[in-house]
Structures are given as C-alpha cells and as structure tokens.
Structure 1
C-alpha cells in the first residue's frame, strides 16, 4: 500500500514537471516567434538571407525581404519594369489610414464631373483599399503598427473626359514622390487621361510594401518615373464556351491583368460547344445553347464585367465567331441556317467536335447576326470588335446541296478553294454591313483570325487593311506574317508556340498529348519578341504594323477552377514584353517575375508556382548554369 502511494506521488511529480517544461517551451517558442531569426541584405544586386544576429549575438543591419527586393537592384521589384525609373534607397513609413488622393485639376475643376474623372475616383478608392489590405488583420494580429506619414497623391489629367480605351489612347504617365517640409509624403501623377493615371496608381501600389520586420508600410522617399507602353494592344483571350467560366473567375483575371498593365480582355464568349451569352433580341439562343440555365452571362453580368474591367484599365473585347464555330444554341433557327452541325465523322467537317457552320446563302442568318451584334455593342460598348472568322471547313459547304446550288447560280460551279473563298467573302461582307448597321452606321476596327481568307496571295482580295486587323495564331516564323506586314495590315500576335496556354496537356480527343504540346514556360513567353520575329522574316517593324500580342486560353481542358493557374503568371511574362520591350532575356527578369507571382497570389489569384518558395527567399541559388543574372 505504501509502495503504491509512493509510485502515485512520483507519477504526479513527473506529470507536473512535464507540464511545467511544456509551458516553458511554449513560452520560449512564443517569444522566439515575436523575434525574427532571418533578415536580408543586398549583396551584388540580389537579396541574401542572413541571420539577424551573428555568432556573437550582435545584431546585423538587415531588412525585410520585401524591403530588400524594393531597394536592391535597379528595377524596384516593379512589374512590368518602367521605361525610365529612379528610386531612392531610403524609405519612409506610410500611415495606411491617412492616404488622400486629390483628383481636382490645377484650375480647381472637379474631375468627377467628367466620365474619365469618375473612373479615376473609383480607381483611387481601389488603391486605398489595396493599402488597407496590406496593413490590416491577419489571424487576429495587426500586420502593421499605427502611425507613419500621411500620403498625399495629386493626379493631374490633360484629358479628364476620356473614358474609353482605344488603340490611339496615350497610356503613359509620370510619377514623382518627395517629402514635404511638413513631413507629408507628396506623390504627383501626371497623365494624359484616366488610363495612364490608373497605371501610375498600380506602380505606386507596388512601390508601397509591407515591412514585416518593422511592422510598417514603406515607400521610397524619392521616386521619379516616366513610363509608357511599347505596344497599344496587350491582351488575354479567355474562351468561355467550351467550358463555362464564372464571373468571379473572369474578375480575378481582370485583377491580374490590371496588376500587370495588360489592357484587353478578349472574351470568346460563344462557340459550337455552347452559347452562354443571353441575347435580349433572341433569348432562345441561350435557352437552347447554355450548358445549364445557371451557366449563362446575363446582360447585367456583362455590363458589370465591362465596368469592372474599365476601372482597372482593361477594355472588354467581345468576339462572335462566325461563320464556323457555331452549333449549340442555333437549333431553334431552322431554315437550313446552320450546316454540318454534329456532322460525323467529325474529322471531315471541322477541327474538333462538335462541328457546325453558318449557311452564307440564307438571309435569316444575317438578320440574326445583326441582332446579336446590336446586343453585344449595346452591352460591351467596345471601341473595336472581333468577328472570329477562323477554321472554316470548305468540305462542309461542298457537301451542302443548297450552298452548292447557290454557287452554281453565282457562276462558282468549279467548287475549288477560291470558289469557296468567294462564298466566305460574300458572308464576310454582309456580316460586316450588319455590324456597321448595329453600330448606328459607324465603322469600327474589326479583328479577324488568320485563316483560309488570309491565305498567301489572297488576303487583299477580301479584307481591306484599313478596316481589318489580323490576329496571327500560326507560328511566329510563318511567311504569311511578312506578306501581311508588307501589305500594311495591323497585326496582333498570338503565335501558338509561345502564346497558346492550353498547350502541353493530355489530349482530350484520343490519347497522348494535345496538338500544340509541349507546355510553354514563362521564359519562352517572355522572350517572344515581336519585333525580332518580324526582323527574322525580313521585315522592319514600324509603329503601325504590330499592335501587340495576346495570350490565349482555349478551355477544352480548363474551367473556373483552373483558369487562374493556366493564365498566371505566364500572361504577366508577356505583359512585360509588351510594356517594357526589354532588350535582355528572361534571366534578367527572373527574381522580379517570381515576386510578381507572389503579388498575384495576394490579390486572390491562384497563380501557378514557378519555383520552390526557398528560391524566392534565396535569390541566385536556383539556376541551371553559372550565368547568374544581376539586374532584378
């Protein structure tokens, strides 16, 4: 009995000692968590991770990683890199709750009285919200201390009335930061219009970083930036027909585009697979063509997406692809308006199932197109329009009796490729007339894909270079590009070997990999130099021949859950190519690219990871050769 009591007492003592040890260890861990172990120092223009204290316990002069990346090197960790940039290495503490954006003109006029000024007001609110998100609560703990200097932002616009982006819009800006005598941080933004000012606010947003060592928002004490894009068209195409993509996913794409200074969201909204666009003129299209009643884009949602993009400096460009790539949604029309719909074997009638094309000989087709154009123009209010026009299958038309009979009446009985191009030309001219009519009689720039209508030696028979912009999806060394440039067509590059982001995955028809494999890494996207492509073809590029480029995501194998990772951060690599037109390759941009991916993730974009996080924290150690980049 006595022995049992002694054992019980010993067990209790051991239990108390264990609890005390656990408590001490917990307090030690908690105390250690409050004190940083690692910091960063700038060594040869890269951020080296070092212990905060040396072996003797002496404190080192270290910075937070965000601060080091901001001050180390010549690019201030900005993406895309500004064309002219100077920032001081000395930073100031910004009071996140005292940020004022003044949008009145020098003459005292209120920009809010102008539509461009109203957009600026909304963009200013968004800028303030971004700083609050950097500074506010995480897991119940404030990220920054209260205090710091007031940030005064003054925006001056030469054209406050401009509210729509066009191919001729000046998107340049000047940005200056300096400390006032009363201690306030003064930032001046000068731009021609809202769109340039919005880009300046994005740059300023990237210059304000969270210092997790000092618990402050920090901004360089002096900044001088003069910046403008190298190309006026900087786009992302998203296909929402093959798989439905939610409005929330579309808005995340617009957020990422704004952070990267891309300016055109090309909405491939319908195709042969589904018709999710809700037409007010012909509501049966979506009733017959949507995957489900819930997977549609209502007029209210379209207007919302357009407004959301515009505040972020992004035009939303609609595409109604025709005369091919139609099918689902058209079943109610009748009158033989569509042909080859779900034709089998599909390989004879289209490039992928399901097949379907419009019948250019049926008048009702043009009445329907006119109504759809009217609906899209009234909702999107675009400055340009995409008419699609790719992958027309002549064999489909050749096996349609009514089309062949019509061709005979038009003396096109040879049924050769040029005869079918004449049929296509008939369609294109009538469709274009309906587009102009829907736009109240006013012409607007039209984009069309490279296709059989743009075949070598044929294109200028059918397409007026003053009216049509050609979007290139073939490879960047296609000799057709030279012909198009020499014939003064304006070009948008989506050369598939660098800018088709659906490449490199498993085939969805059959087995193996899909047709355009392999996967395209961000490095190849970054080095897709448009001017170099033209020079390699023997053409000297000028300011009008190349409008820019567009990354594309066709969604046979992507939807709302995977769009972010397929597009980002690779589309951002293209963004710097189009904005900065760098003379160096991807190696010089790698550190900043990895950082920009982290920036996108903090925006809520599920961007693919490029490297282990260790590489982000240990610059210069993740490389294939000893040619380590310096500038970042």
Structure 2
C-alpha cells in the first residue's frame, strides 16, 4: 500500500511539471484528498492524526483507520450507549461479515423462539446498516451468537426483568458470543449491545465503495437498567405523524434501550386513531382520509415495537383535550358528547385552540368511551397499560354548559372550584370503571392507569380523589416544583417529565427555553422506589414529520442513558460515546442533529 502511495505521488508531480494540467481538478484526486487515521489516547479519547497519511492494513499502537472503530474500542465503555453497569472490552478487533453470523436459539424456550428470531433479524439489518446496506469486504470467519433465555413469559411490563450478560470470545476458527437473560427483552438488549460492539471501516482514500465490519475481539458485559420506565412521548394529534416516521422513532428508542412509547394519539385538534366500534371518531376527527391510523396499522406497530423491546402505551386524553372526533353526538341522537368544541373566542375555554372537553353530564358519553376502551383493550398486549390523560381541565368550559351546571346541582356539587374538582374526580372514577369492565370482558385483570399531574393531583386534594393503588401520576411540573416529592411522600408511584428540561418542543415557541442534550443529560431523578422512571416528550404544535428526527435525536438518547444507568460521570465524559451513538443512528436511517462542529467530533475533549 505504501508503494502505491508513492506511485500516485509521482504521477501527480509529472502531470504538473509537464504543463498538461488545466487546473487542480485535473490532478489525480487521491493525492490531495486526506486519509486521516485516529488514535485512542488515554483520558483524551479518539484524536485525528496530525498529518494526512495513507492507510495501512497494520493497525497498531491504538491507531485506527476509522473514527467509528476507534470510538468502539477506546475508553472503559467504548462506544456503548447507554453506558452498561460493567464492561471489559478488548482494544483489538476482528473482521466479520453478516453472512457468517449465526444465532443459536437452542436455550430459548419454544414459546419465545419466534419473537427472539425476529429480534435477530433486526440485528442483521443493523449490522448491514453500518456499511450502508452492503458489506463488501468478505470474511468467512463464523460468528455464533448463543442466546440463553430463562423465561417463556413474553409480556412487557414495568416489572419485566431486563438485565442481561454478554460475552465475546475469539478463537482462531470461530467467534463465540454468549447472550444471556431472564427474559426475551433482556436478551434483546444484549443483542443491541452486540451490534454496538461492531463498527464499519470505510477507507476514504479509494473511489471504490469498500466497507468492512470490525467486531471487538473480546468483551464481558453485565448490565441492567436503573429505572423501569424509560419513555418517549410522541404527539400525533397536533400534527399527524406518518406511520413510517413513528416506526423510525421506535427504532431510535430501541437503539437507546428505551422501553415505553407513550403515544399521545388524540387531542382536541384531531382524532386519527381508528375505532372499529365507533367509526365516527376518525370520520369527524381525522385531518384527512390519508391521516388515519387503521386498526391493522396499530396492531402492526405494537408488534414492531415489541420486537424492539418497546411497550406501546396509548393515551386517550380526557376529559379535557377532547374536541374534534367527539362533535357528532347530536347528529346521531346521543346529545353533546363534548362541549366547547371549536368554540371561539377560546381563551376562557381551553389552554390552546381548538377547545373541547368531554361532557360528564351525558351518560351516552360514557357508553361511547366504553366502546373506545374495548377497542384499545383488544389491541394492546396484556397486561395493558392505558394513559387516561387527565390534565388542563378548564372549568370555564364546563361552566358554559347549562346541561353540565344543571347536572352538578342535581349531584349537590357547588358551582365553584371545589364543585368542578368533584365533577372531574367523578369522571375519572367512571372512566376507570369503564376501562376495568372492558379489561375483564377480554379476560384481563385490573391494572394501574396513568394520569398527568393537574389541579386534581395537588398534594392537598389527590388523596380525596385518586387511589395510589390504581393511578400512576406523570408529573410534568417544572424541576423546581415540590409536587414530585410531595407525591412520593404520600406513597404515589410517579413518572417524571420535567417540562422545563425534558420537553423537546421548548425553545421553539413563547417564552420556553431550549435544552440541549447536555442539560437533558445532567438532570437526575430523585432516588425513590416509587419513581418508576421518566420520559422525554415531543409535542407537535410546531412540528411534523419533516423535523421529527432532528428535534428528538440525539437529545432523547441523553435522557435514555440517564434512565438506564443514571451515571455519576458528567456530560463531557459521555460526549465521545454520544458522538458514536449519533453516528450509529445516522447509519440506521435516522437524522439526529449535530452536537458539535465536525472538527470537534474528530478530536475528543479538545473543544470542551
């Protein structure tokens, strides 16, 4: 290779001296195109070499032809994201080819083999993605991945054991990978970690599209999550998000070991979720005939997510945030199912236009809600988890309805804040009964449901209205609010999503402030057994599929590591691994935002 470099240099010089060149573009391009290499420097990470130089096949002295390979082996945790509990990684790599990777499922329970087999297909696709879909450098060394799963239970809940172990051993004639876990979801995480021990080598000195894969030659990893609930919320009501974009978001979640896709699928703006029992929801609530999630698509999405270790939690926001999709009641003889729908002026009726709140005085509304719940109960895997919304009820809206105020007087509720709170509480009691009834009808059992924090969940009233056994409160107060701590002291289980730090839409409207990935990474949750975990939220008032990836990634990845391992190290220690994770997401078809100038990404720690 060195002699080839010399020959190219001589050719270039002769062209210039002979006067035949019409400009720089006529000179052999390889001579002036850099061929950087990258050195792993202790405590400094991967550093680009000082001078462009020809690559060599002899990668020694911790110098690598690829920045991705360097980051995969450099440092205690290499390029693993989220950071595992313990990891011992070799700095040597071996070449592999996906065609010679085989998965041994002999120690996987028969009931779980089909699901695990689908998980291995994702592994194959992710390996190919490292080389843009084609690994041109053929290597015939066999790689056998032995998967050991103890349990045949395929349910995914917040009590699912997700810990795993992963060992990589290299011998002359075979590479053996041992992935062990109690559950299929722990095994899935092990397989994800296996793919993160692989990086592509793409020489930049050649016009040929050459690409080979390198696997860390030896590894011993033991890992488990700190928090049970590691979520990402996506709002597809303010703007409809096409299913392919939803699936790509779940791909990103899987790469970061996030396990809850909180789907805020309905709001007052639109109702794109098809109901087989109540087709009026989409007929009156969808933006168009093309902007509907069909029953079949939703079931396919749930399966798609399960293969990637992600639980789908559907949110039907109520009793507020319910307008379009509910406005057909009178036409069908059901009366007003919702009030204030699309009314203007709106400021005294809702938090943002268009307005709409369910009508708790109308018994027909509960019958319709029950049908919707039955559709969801039949769609979600058991035990199903439902998010009932429950925030931002505007008493002015209910107060504008004579039907509702008359009902309140019949129930001996005062027309006051306390009276409206009592009506609100009554709604949740009836809605929970409706959900329980539908769960029991399909053979399910009573499960906790989720609610947003609200006026109803304030410390001075929550115990009078909401059972700590039946409700998990998702607290979206700013980080300085005492509510999270107050609820924990009272024994409520919580999921934390501090809006001033973990809301991905902040900084793009009003007086909100943007949080970069470093700020999101630095936020830590309280240490309490009742903190199930946290969530990063992508609200879509000012976002559609065009900007989805750059708004979500890689910032959501920062929250993912906080929830998986809750490391004590700072953001700068994590940044080289974050750079590797961003490159990985790019390879897998996502479009994560940049986190530094390109020069800084080639010189770890030099821009801190």
How high is the TM-score relative to the length of structure 2?
0.90
Structure 1 spans left out of the alignment, 5+ residues: 1-16, 507-513, 532-540, 624-632
Secondary structure of 1:558's match? coil
How much has 1:220 moved relative to structure 2?
Answer: 1.8
User: Could you say which residue in structure 1 is the equivalent of 2:104?
Assistant: 102
Answer yes or no: is the 8 Å Cα contact 1:493–1:550 preserved in 2: yes
User: Could you say which residue in structure 2 is the equivalent of 1:152?
Assistant: 144
User: Could you say which residue in structure 2 is the equivalent of 1:431?
Assistant: 431
Q: Distance in 1 between matches of 2:549 and 2:153?
A: 31
Deviates more, 1:185-194 or 1:70-79: 70-79
Answer yes or no: is the 8 Å Cα contact 2:524–2:562 preserved in 1: yes
Secondary structure of 1:21's match? coil
Which of 158, 164, 167 pairs up with 1:173? 164
Answer yes or no: is the 8 Å Cα contact 1:374–1:438 preserved in 2: yes
Q: Distance in 1 between matches of 2:117 and 2:449?
A: 31
Q: Distance in 2 between matches of 1:619 and 1:522?
A: 17
Secondary structure of 2:426's match? helix
Which of 26, 37, 40 pairs up with 1:39? 37
Answer yes or no: is the 8 Å Cα contact 1:340–1:357 preserved in 2: yes
Answer yes or no: is the 8 Å Cα contact 1:569–1:597 preserved in 2: yes
Matched, 1:299 2:295: yes
Answer yes or no: is the 8 Å Cα contact 1:80–1:260 preserved in 2: yes
User: Could you say which residue in structure 1 is the equivalent of 2:603?
Assistant: 618
Secondary structure of 1:97's match? helix
Matched, 1:419 2:415: no
Matched, 1:528 2:523: yes
Secondary structure of 2:130's match? helix
Q: Distance in 2 between matches of 1:614 and 1:259?
A: 25
How much has 1:345 moved relative to structure 2?
Answer: 2.5
Q: Distance in 2 between matches of 1:495 and 1:187?
A: 40
Answer yes or no: is the 8 Å Cα contact 1:377–1:438 preserved in 2: yes
Q: List per-residue Cα deviations over 1:194-237 (Å, max 9, x = no partner).
A: 10001111111010111235953112221100000000100000
Matched, 1:49 2:48: yes
Secondary structure of 2:155's match? coil
Answer yes or no: is the 8 Å Cα contact 2:36–2:53 preserved in 1: no
Answer yes or no: is the 8 Å Cα contact 2:130–2:584 preserved in 1: no
Q: Distance in 2 between matches of 1:389 and 1:24?
A: 66
User: Could you say which residue in structure 1 is the equivalent of 2:493?
Assistant: 490
How much has 1:25 moved relative to structure 2?
Answer: 7.0
* Aligned ranges 1:413-562 → 2 under 5 Å: 414-440=414-440, 442-506=445-509, 514-515=510-511, 517-531=512-526, 541-543=527-529, 545-562=530-547
How much has 1:30 moved relative to structure 2?
Answer: 4.4
Secondary structure of 1:530's match? coil
Q: Distance in 1 between matches of 2:132 and 2:79?
A: 23
Q: List per-residue Cα deviations over 1:567-626 (Å, max 9, x = no partner).
A: 111000000000011112212111211221121111111111111222111212222xxx
User: Could you say which residue in structure 1 is the equivalent of 2:242?
Assistant: 246
How much has 1:125 moved relative to structure 2?
Answer: 1.4
The 1:601/1:25 distance shift into structure 2, 3 A limit, reads closer
User: Could you say which residue in structure 1 is the equivalent of 2:13?
Assistant: none
Answer yes or no: is the 8 Å Cα contact 1:323–1:357 preserved in 2: yes
How high is the TM-score relative to the length of structure 1?
0.87
* Aligned ranges 1:128-527 → 2 under 5 Å: 128-135=124-131, 144-159=136-151, 161-180=152-171, 183-213=173-203, 215-334=211-330, 335-381=335-381, 383-412=384-413, 414-440=414-440, 442-506=445-509, 514-515=510-511, 517-527=512-522
Answer yes or no: is the 8 Å Cα contact 1:288–1:330 preserved in 2: yes
The 1:392/1:188 distance shift into structure 2, 3 A limit, reads same
How much has 1:416 moved relative to structure 2?
Answer: 2.0
How much has 1:53 moved relative to structure 2?
Answer: 7.0
Answer yes or no: is the 8 Å Cα contact 2:272–2:291 preserved in 1: yes
Aligned residues between the structures: 574
The 1:451/1:29 distance shift into structure 2, 3 A limit, reads same
Answer yes or no: is the 8 Å Cα contact 1:171–1:196 preserved in 2: yes
Matched, 1:77 2:88: no
Structure 2 spans left out of the alignment, 5+ residues: 1-16, 204-209
How much has 1:135 moved relative to structure 2?
Answer: 4.0
Answer yes or no: is the 8 Å Cα contact 1:143–1:212 preserved in 2: no
Answer yes or no: is the 8 Å Cα contact 1:136–1:144 preserved in 2: no
Secondary structure of 1:253's match? helix
Q: List per-residue Cα deviations over 1:504-540 (Å, max 9, x = no partner).
A: 114xxxxxxx24x111111111011002xxxxxxxxx
The 1:485/1:54 distance shift into structure 2, 3 A limit, reads same
How much has 1:19 moved relative to structure 2?
Answer: 9.8
Q: Distance in 2 between matches of 1:447 and 1:22?
A: 71
Answer yes or no: is the 8 Å Cα contact 1:42–1:72 preserved in 2: yes
Secondary structure of 1:447's match? strand
How much has 1:191 moved relative to structure 2?
Answer: 0.2
Q: Distance in 2 between matches of 1:226 and 1:409?
A: 61
How much has 1:148 moved relative to structure 2?
Answer: 4.8
Q: Distance in 2 between matches of 1:47 and 1:133?
A: 23
